Structure 1
């Protein structure tokens, strides 16, 4: 006697197997930078055309060396913020299949006077002199005592005097260090005497000019010294001058720094002496950066080539 085989049972789910989830990438807000391994605050400031001291102040850093991998740094000050994005108001809506309750209609107010008069109904009278007199008397409006009318004399509205909005300062003509016209760029000088032995590439980020130990290094243009030190690896003793909101110039591998941070220098003023700090040759490594990005100095100054 044959038996019907029992139905096949589904295989039990695997135990302990969890599908790996891809890590959620950190979204860096516009105008910000996420610190990567090997970064320094000096490097971040240089690559973004900023003063490292301002960068530290904007991010509340008491120690310029206290930055961590993955930290988000803001790259603009409070006055440069673009404003907070205002998102549209989102109202509640049923997303779980619930029932929307009908909105009760707003009760309307009944008019004081009905649109159709149903009572009393008019009574037609035969024409007689007495009936005509009664109708004429009823049609006359009652005599109303005249009320004295108040005379309104229009008064002149004073013209408002325009005043400056609170917190808004009258624009002041910028000085040389804050100017951003290209004329100042055209007047930049060769920072030292000599010939360029290594031109600009995406790797070099600037040009190399060999010379003698102690040879004068001058500012290519007027501006403010925003960095003077040896905190950037590969640059040795370096000076960075901020000429305007667009341009920085960097002077690396010096033996002696003449100026200090915060000094305002003039075009052609001596700022350092040539050396071989953090390099194997006495030379000047010179960079021009526009909004923090390296550009070819040969496009801005007349360089000597061998």
Structure 2
């Protein structure tokens, strides 16, 4: 239809909806929105469940990881990393030569010298020891002199004659005299039968054995100082060694009971022990005398009976 002005009227092209049609369209629109909202809710629910699953997996993975709890010390948090166990390495002991000896706990210089038939003064000199000859466990002692290198003497040249001067001693001062050791007068350490005599070529007969009864009185054969008292020497049982002077030592073995200690001063005839027995059960005393570390026959020094 064209109005009088010649303009076209298109209002007739749009459909005219009735009230019922408008209401139906509105209901359809709302139904579509509800369906879309429901789909979105389902998607959100699935996404939420997936997120929870992922978080759970992450937490489980963290629980299985290797970690150590921190250590809290006086207000500070210190990490405690795992460290491999440290196994201590044994420190090797230096090898001791055949002419050396490693001191053990309880050893004395006199005991070591006695067991090897060496003068204790020689061992002291080789190792730079001075009285009272203290040694300590673990110390290595030389049992033989160190060979000295011989140095050729310088060429001799004729020297001018020198005037002899005699030493003078101030008035009132006496010159020092060399130390004179008192002579020893040995006595029998116990009364009994001689069960075994001395034999220089037999190490098992380096003294004499005197038979008796268990518990018999054992006396010091001469005055001196006890330098060893114990059972550290194999084959002697409970042993006493007495130093009488710089040259002589005496030993009393296989005692049942020792009555003196190291360092004690004893007098000739003093009771120092009680007779014991050997491994064979025979009560006896093993008696030795050594001069400069070497065994000598006690029968040559003891009085005749």
TM-score for the superposition, normalised by structure 1: 0.49
Task: Find the structure with the greater CA-based Rg.
Answer: 2
Q: Flag the structure with more relative contact order, 1 or 2, with Cα contacts below 8 A and sequence separation at least 6.
A: 1
Name the structure with the higher helix share.
2
